Each structure stands twice: as structure tokens, then as C-alpha cells.
A and B are shown apart, each in its own frame.
Chain A
Amino acid sequence: MAAKLRAPGLLRAGVLTLVGIAFAAILDLTVRAATNAEPLVNGEAITLVALLAAPFFFLGGLGAFDEWLYWASGKPSRPEDHSGHGATSWKDYFRVNTDHKVIGVQYVVTSFFFMLVGGLLAMLVRAELAAPGAQFVDPNTYNGLFSVHASLMIFLFIIPVFAGMANYVLPLMIGAPDMAFPRLNALSFWMLPIAGVMMTLSFFAPGGSFATGWTAYAPLSTEVPMGQMFFTIGVQFAGASSIATALNFLVTIITMRAPGMSFWRMPLLVWANFATSLLVVIATPFVAASQLFVLLDYALGFNFFNVERGGDVLMYQHVFWFYSHPAVYIMMLPGFGIISEVLAVKSRKPIFGYRMMAFSLLAIVLLGFTVWAHHMFVSGMQPWIRVPMMITTAIIAVPTGIKIFSWLATIWRGVLHLDTPMLWSLGFITMFVLGGISGVMLAIIPIDIHVSDTYFVVAHIHYVLYGGSVFTIFAGIYYWFPKMTGRMFDERLGKVHFWMTFVSFNLTFAPMHLIGVQGMPRRVADYTEQFAGWNMFISLASFLLGLSTLVFVYNVVASWRGGTRAEANPWRAMTLEWQVSSPPPIFNFDAVPTVVGGPYEYGVPGAVHGVFRPAGQPDPHAKEPAGASARADAAGATHHGGTET
């Protein structure tokens, strides 16, 4: 028992969490006694300090800091011998593991767990909204339901599930044995359940959960019961996790590419995560700051947002949206990468305009930082700012349009395999275009004045984040499921899942455009009689949408347990992750791959992306005028003349 307690793991983490709470209580009581604060024992103050301190004790108990503590205390640190790599039983997923493939699975499963929790909250929201007036929750609980729903879906599902998928496949795609900083990678993952549990547990806080929306606008958020702090502090952990992972991706992509893998030979998923990581590293500190301001105002009586003491309410919104608009692209660009992978493979054609696809990602990163105040057209900021923000917002549709058109040109004249990953990808294109169109409408100031803070906005963000991001997530999960689990999923159930979701998604969210324009504000538990019919319709459709997710869960669980064994490369894809077994060997590659061509050379006779041979030896696959194609590749030319001239 004692040995078990000393060993890193969940048991030690649990005990140390209790120690952390005790530490917080003692620290709080000491400070309050020293400053003669009344009353001496303040439950809220202790909880607040515990929220900040206990997670570090938890991480320490798990073993996330063991190596660093050895090093810091002068003990001989143990060089990573990779004995912890791989997972032999499900228990291995509940400890600190430095294998990027294990971490990838940890990320994805955790994210989907919180997606189910967040989805359940959405079902409760829709049940309350099925009829006007109060049904079964009071306004405080209702505000909590949609606030926690949004926070979980954004911070615990969409952002981390992309990080998880990339964690799994990105090192494989660039021919690396692991991520650049495996221990940091493990720490990044374990901060995530902390944030998720904190946000979910907020429902048990005195006064109920945080109920000011995921936007947590000040000064409301500084004046509400302490459930708000579960968001404020939870975001710090989710944000730190995001930033650390992004740094890890950037260093991995820049320094650990296989020989021959030039930037212009990288698969677009790698490009997409490169762009996303840039966004995360630059923008995420801003949301951490905005919540830190709220924390200081709430707990210590700072006056960031107290106008009577010179505070500035609009400052919160500027800092918040300076992250939270780029966050939309953080939640979208990795999906763009997934769609490029799936469409090229499933259409058996090279990506049309590969370089423009990469450049448009970078253009979105750059423009993404110039549009934040379009969330504030009616906020009362200086009116002139609205006009440049309208123009940049409209212009950001251009690189996005380039991507859509390039994907259409990719499937044009291809040989389309309409299986589950492909259906989700095509479904994504059709739905995301609608989200993009309503986005441009929202950019047009006079329209936005009327529809901001209405259900039109709710419809827009769900077309972008559900019809957009979540569709790409499903495309990616189905596409890499054989690689990650070594099993094939049930194709028939995958199609049922797609069609059920596609139909009920549109039935749920399309009518929201209409009731929004007609004047239904968002974030209300009660509404006027005129919207009753549509809301009942939407609620019924949303329950169907909820059920469709269960089809997915069943398919994944059943296939993981007993699906047919997957081949190494069931899709006949060229990228490197498909050139190794499913699931891949513990150290990814038994021989270091050398990249000799582009990642999507489908239909080019004899073309290969990577070969497993020592660098410098002649390419046995080159049959064509070898010199010409090698030169073209070396120059990174994507516009092969071959068939066009």
C-alpha cells in the first residue's frame, strides 16, 4: 500500500489533491488571521484558493512533475528510456504517459466524454425551450446550462479533440518518432480533465454554476456567485494546456521532419496545425488575461471593470475577443487540414492548388487577428472601428473561399469513394458554406445591428462549429480510426450516423436563422408566444440530433472491441502514417522514412511520398524521367506540367 502510494498514479494524485485542499485551507486561514479578516473561516475563500492550488498537487501526484523535481533537487534524473511508451491495458491510459499515440487517444477520448456531457446540457436547454415560460429549471440553472454547454464544447471538446488527433497522426505524418517534448505533452493533456471537471462541478458550487455565458462579460461576471470562478480558473488550465501543446507542435514541425520532408511536401494537416499553433501561441494568453482580470476583480476587489473607480467595461470585451475570434479559426483550421487529407485520398486526385491551400491558411492566421471587434458592433465602442473591422471580416472570406473552391476542384473529375469519412467531408463543405454566408451577413454592420445577440448568431455559430468543425472531427475520427485502433468501424452505422446527423442538424439549426431575424434574443429561458411553434420544432429535431450521437458512440465502442482488423493502409493513402502498421509500432517507424515527393500524388504514375531506405540511395520506384520529377520535387513545384501540356 505504501509503495503504491509513493508510486506516481491516480491513487497518489487523489491523496495529494486532498493535501492540496488542506494546504489551501491553511494558507487562507493564515493570511486571514494575519490580516484580521472577518470572518476568519470563509468557505468561498478557501474554495477559491483550493481551485488554484489543488490542481498542481493533483498533477504532482500523477507524476507529471517527477522528472523535473528530480532534476531541480539535484537527484540523478532518469533519462527517458521509453519504457513508458505504448499502452498494454486500459489502465495505461490513466497515468502520465509520454507516448504521443497514447496521449492522442487520451485527448480524443477525454474530449468526447466532455462532448457527451456538453451535449446532455444542450438537450436540457432545448427541453426548457420547448415551450415559452418556465418548464423545469429556474433562470439561474438555465443560464448555467447554456454557459457550461458552450464552455465544455469549446474548451473541452473542439479545441482539444483537434489537438488530440494531431497529437496522434502529426508526428507519424512528418516521419518523427514522437513529439519534440514528450513530458510537456503529457502535462498538457492532464491539465485538460482538470479544466473539464472544474467547469462541470461548478453546478455544485454555492449559488449554482457560472451563468454569464461562455463570454463571461464583465461587470456581470465579477458580481455573480462563486460558480463563475470555476470557469475563470478552469479556463486558465485549458488555456495553458492549449499553449503548451501548440508550442510542442511548432517545435516538432520545425525540427523533427523526416529527411526530404520540406515545408512544401508537408501534408496539409501538418500545415493546418502549424497555422493553428501560431494562432494559439499568440492569442490564448489574451483569454487567460481577461479571466485573470475577472478573478482579481471578484476575489481581491481590483477595479479593472468598476467604472466608479476608473475601470473600463469595454476593455474586457476587446481583450476577450482578441483571443476569442482567432479561437474560431483555432477551432476550424485543423478541420480544414483533415478535409484536405480525406478529399485527396477519397477522390484519388492531388489537392488542387496545394500552395494556395497552405498560403490561405497563413492568410487566415494573419487576417484572423484583425477582425475581433466585429463581435462588438453594438457594444458602444468607438463607431469608426466598425468599418475597418467590417472590411477585414468580409475579406477573410476570400482565403476561406479559396479553400472551398480548391476542394471542389479536387473532387472534380476524381474517382469518388463515397464512404463514411468522405460523406462527412462533403457534408462539411455544404454546411460550412452556409456558416460562411451567414458570417458575411453578420459582418455587414447594418444587418448586424439588428441580428447581433439573437438566434441568428446562435444559428451561425452552430453552422460554423457543428456543421463546420464537428463534421470535420467526425470525418477525421472515421478516417484515422483504423490507424488509431487497428480495427475497422462499421461502415453501415457510420453512414446511418452521417445521414441522421445531417438531417437533424439542419432541422435544428436552420430555423434558428429565421426566429433570430424575427426578433428572438439568445440566452433567454423564456420567450414570447410568437416563437413557440418553431421552438417546439427545434427542440424535437435537437433530440434526434442527440440520438444520432449515440449511434456514433455505439459504433466506435463496438468496433474498437470487436471490429475486423485493419490493414496498414485501407484507404491506399500516400501520407506516411499509412505506410506503417495499424496501430503503428511503439516507436512509429522501424526504419527512418525519406520523403521524395508530394503527399498527394494520386494518379501520377509511379509517384511515392516517402520511402523507407537510408537517404542517398537511388529511388527504386522512380520509373519516369527520374531527373525531371526529382527536379520538380526539389523545387517544390506543385503545378506539374505533365498532363496539362
Chain B
Amino acid sequence: MGSEQVKTSRESRIELFKMLGIGAVASVIGIIAGLAIDWFPIQASEEAKQIDSLWDLLLGVSVPVFVLVQAIVLYCVWKFRVRPGEEDKDGPPIHGDTKIEMIWTAIPAIILLVLCVYAYLVLEDIEGAKADTMDVRVVGEQFTWTFYYPGEDGKEIASKELYLPVNRSISFDVQTKDVLHDFWVPAFRMKIDAVPGTTQHVRATPTREGTYPVVCAELCGLGHAVMRQNARVVSGAAFETWLKEQPGKTNPGATAGNQGSAGQPAGLSGKELFTSVQPTCSSCHTLADAGSNSSTGPNLDDALEGKSEEYIRQGILEPDQQIAAGFSAGIMPPNYDETLKPEEVDALVKYLAKVTK
């Protein structure tokens, strides 16, 4: 009885080593395949480099774990499946082995803790304060982002496009005028929620010139999917030039973060209404006369060209009645008939009819 057991345990050990050998080869193949996959979008920030290499490390740890489990399952299926004549046979009554159980408790725990420590170091690195940081205020609203740059005399310069100088650390101060949004530039790998009533911070150092998408990553309502804009990373000199070219208008919404839709000033002109009614028309529509250039909704210079006042009025009050090609119903707020006074609607209609003639 004893010698038989020695034999089975030796056989069992040989089986185990054979399996480990196959597993090691499969792991190496798996890791190479995993690293060969082009996982990430383009790498355009300091932080992206570190996050991407952390990912590679995780792949290197994960693949062998996955392969180990699969190898054991497949080996068991191949080797221990029931053979003809064994239908009523039982396996050996092994109830456990404290030593093995301790090993497979301790080793994963150690690996996971080491990963956590390393991840913490990376986190400290990517989030730590850097010298020569520029602040950009990012304000989300349904369904657009506006970016504010510090201008002269403490006045802010607003832009619908995120212009950034290359190789300079940027601190984004993220706010929202309504519900939760999430400011995410996939090429930078960094994101943070915009939380009502607070200013959230996230850092990134762009390292590569180019144009990258800015995406809202937190479900914020009907237009969530189209809440996309562009980040343009340019040379330091080009950035300065761009900033100087921006109209030095003081930002009407500098305090809008906490303002909400209440308190719209009365007696505004059609053009003023276009940029001040909440949510603003200009945040979604391009209109040359008002200087807006967003593409969330139809370009009004084209869509309203030569249209009647009645058509424009219906477009504001019942936006889903006529949908421009390439856009979906249900994105434009349907409640302007409630938030606007009748005379304000009149002013807007007259203004839009005039400038799109």
C-alpha cells in the first residue's frame, strides 16, 4: 500500500512538472501576444508613458495566472476524464493539504501587495505637483465643455477648444454647471469627474503636438455621447500667439459654476440671449455672428439659411419636430418654452432670422 502511494505521488509530481513546463511556454507566448496588441490610444503625455508601462507589467503578471488555471483545467479534462468502465469509480478521497493551502494563500497575497506598492509609487509620480504649472479651468455643462485660461488683469479667456502648450505641466480645475460630467482626454490617460458644487483637480503634461479628443466619460443625459471636443497640443510659441489672438472678452460665466439657470438678466438683445440663456445656444451651435463654433448641434448659419421666423420659432420651442441630417432627436433641451419668456423667444427668433438671411 505504502509503495503504491509513493509511486502515485511521484507520478503525480511528474505530471505536475510536465504541466508547469507547458504552462511556462504558454505564458511566454501569451505575454508576447499581450504586449504585441496595440492597446492604448496615442501616447501624448508624461503620465501616459507611466500608465502604459504599468499596464505592461500587469499583463506580465496576469497572463501566467490565467495560463496556469487554464492549463490545469485542460490537463485535468484530458487526463482525468471518465474512461469506459470507470463510470462507477470514485477519485481518491483527498480532503486537503494545509501546506499547499498556505502557499496559495500567501503567494497571491504577496504578489498583490507588491503590485499595490508599485501602483502607489506610480500614482504619486503622476499626480505630484510639478514646477511651472499652468492652470486651465474646465467647465462642463449639458452637453459641452468650456475652457478658461488666465488672461491679463485677472480676466479669463474662454475657448471651446482646449489649446495646450507642449511639455508644460497643466493643472485642470474641473467644474460643472449642472449634473456630473467627466473630463477625459484618452491620449493623456487622465480623467476626473466634474462634481456639482466643487472644483476637482487633475494634472497632465502633454508631450506630443497634435489634436486629441476630449470626451465626457460620465453619463450626463441625452447628449452624453456627443459631448466631445478637441484638445490641440501646440508648441509653446504657437500657444502664446493663439492666446493673444483670443478676444480679450471677460468671461460672462466666470462665476457661472454656481449660478444655475436662475437670474438671467432681463431685456437682453437676441445676440446676448444666444450666448447667455442656460444652457447657452452657443455652447452647441455654430453661429458666425455670435462667434460660436461648437458642432454638438447643427451649424445654424447653414441650417437656418433663408428659413422663416415660424420655422426658427418651432426649432427653439419644439426642437424634435425638425431634425437636421446627421443629428438625433432628443438632444436639444425641449424646455426652452418654459425657461424663456415669450419676449425673449421673439428677440431670439428675430435675431436668428436676421443673421442667417
Interface on A for B, CB 8 Å cutoff? 133-134, 138-140, 143, 211-213, 217, 219-220, 223-224, 307-308, 311-314, 347-350, 352-356, 378-380, 383, 386-387, 390-391, 394-395, 397-398, 401-402, 404-406, 408-409, 411-418, 426, 429-430, 433-434, 437, 440-441, 444-447, 449-450, 452-454, 514, 517-519, 521, 523-528, 572, 601-604, 607, 638-640, 642-644
Contact = CB atoms under 8 A, between A and B. Distances in A.
Interface in B173-224: 178-180, 182, 184, 186-187, 189-198, 200, 213, 215-224
A418 B83 CA distance: 11
A471 B79 CA distance: 24
Contact of B180 (A220, A395, A426, A638): A220
B71 to A, nearest CB: 10
B80 A350 contact: no
A348 B89 contact: yes
A160 B23 CA distance: 39
A518 B217 contact: no
A223 B261 CA distance: 14
B310 to A, nearest CB: 24
B245 interface: no
B25 interface: no
Interface string B61-83: 01001100110110011001110
Contact of A415 (B82, B112, B223): B82
A434 B66 contact: yes
Interface in B122-136: 122-123, 126-127
Question: Max chain B CB contacts within 10 Å: which of A213, A445, A450?
Answer: A450
7 contacts: A349-B93, A390-B120, A391-B116, A395-B112, A415-B86, A440-B115, A446-B50
A353 B51 contact: no
Interface of B: 5, 12, 37, 39-41, 50-51, 54-55, 58, 62, 65-66, 69-70, 72-73, 76-77, 80-82, 86, 88-98, 100-101, 104-105, 108-109, 112-113, 115-116, 119-120, 122-123, 126-127, 178-180, 182, 184, 186-187, 189-198, 200, 213, 215-226, 228, 258, 260, 326, 328-331
Contact of A387 (B54, B120, B192, B330): B120
Given A308-B260, A394-B113, A413-B92, A521 B72 contact: no
A452 B93 contact: no
Given A380-B192, A449-B189, A453-B182, A521 B109 contact: no
A380 B195 contact: yes
- Chain B: interface secondary structure? mixed
Given A139-B331, A521-B215, A356 B190 contact: no
Given A139-B222, A417-B82, 7 more contacts: A140-B222, A308-B197, A401-B105, A412-B76, A413-B92, A441-B55, A603-B92
B258 to A, nearest CB: 7
Given A416-B80, A444-B115, A514-B37, A349 B94 contact: yes
A643 B258 contact: no
A217 B93 contact: no
A408 B72 contact: yes
A349 B66 CA distance: 24
Nearest to A221: B179
B94 A447 contact: no
Contact of A352 (B95, B105, B217): B95
- For the complex of A and B, the 3 pairs showing the least CB-CB separation, nearest first, are A307-B197, A519-B186, A524-B225
Contact of A414 (B91, B96, B225, B260): B91
A433 B74 CA distance: 14
A604 B93 contact: yes
B188 to A, nearest CB: 9
A138 B91 contact: no
A449 to B, nearest CB: 6
A437 B66 contact: yes
Given A453-B217, A525-B225, A356 B96 contact: yes
A130 B181 CA distance: 26
B122 A139 contact: no
Contacts of B5: 643
Nearest to B262: A308
A416 B72 CA distance: 13
Given A308-B260, A450-B189, A526-B225, A350 B119 contact: no
B191 A450 contact: yes
Nearest to B37: A514
Interface centre among A354, A402, A413, A446 (most CB of B within 10 A): A446
Nearest to B212: A519
A312 B195 CA distance: 10
Contacts of A450: 51, 186, 189-191
A417 B196 CA distance: 57
Contact of B95 (A138, A354, A378, A394): A354
B266 to A, nearest CB: 21
Contact of A411 (B54, B76, B97): B76
B80 A447 contact: no
Contacts of A640: 93, 95
A440 B55 contact: no
Contacts of B326: 133
A413 B82 contact: no
A416 B77 contact: yes
B216 A638 contact: no
A352 B96 contact: yes
A211 B221 CA distance: 8
Nearest to B100: A409
B150 to A, nearest CB: 22
B40 A517 contact: yes
A431 to B, nearest CB: 10
Contacts of A441: 55, 58, 62
Contacts of A418: 77, 81-82
B65 A416 contact: no
A415 to B, nearest CB: 5
B104 A402 contact: yes
User: Which of A380, A387, A418, A528 gathers the greatest number of chain B CB atoms within 10 Å?
Assistant: A380
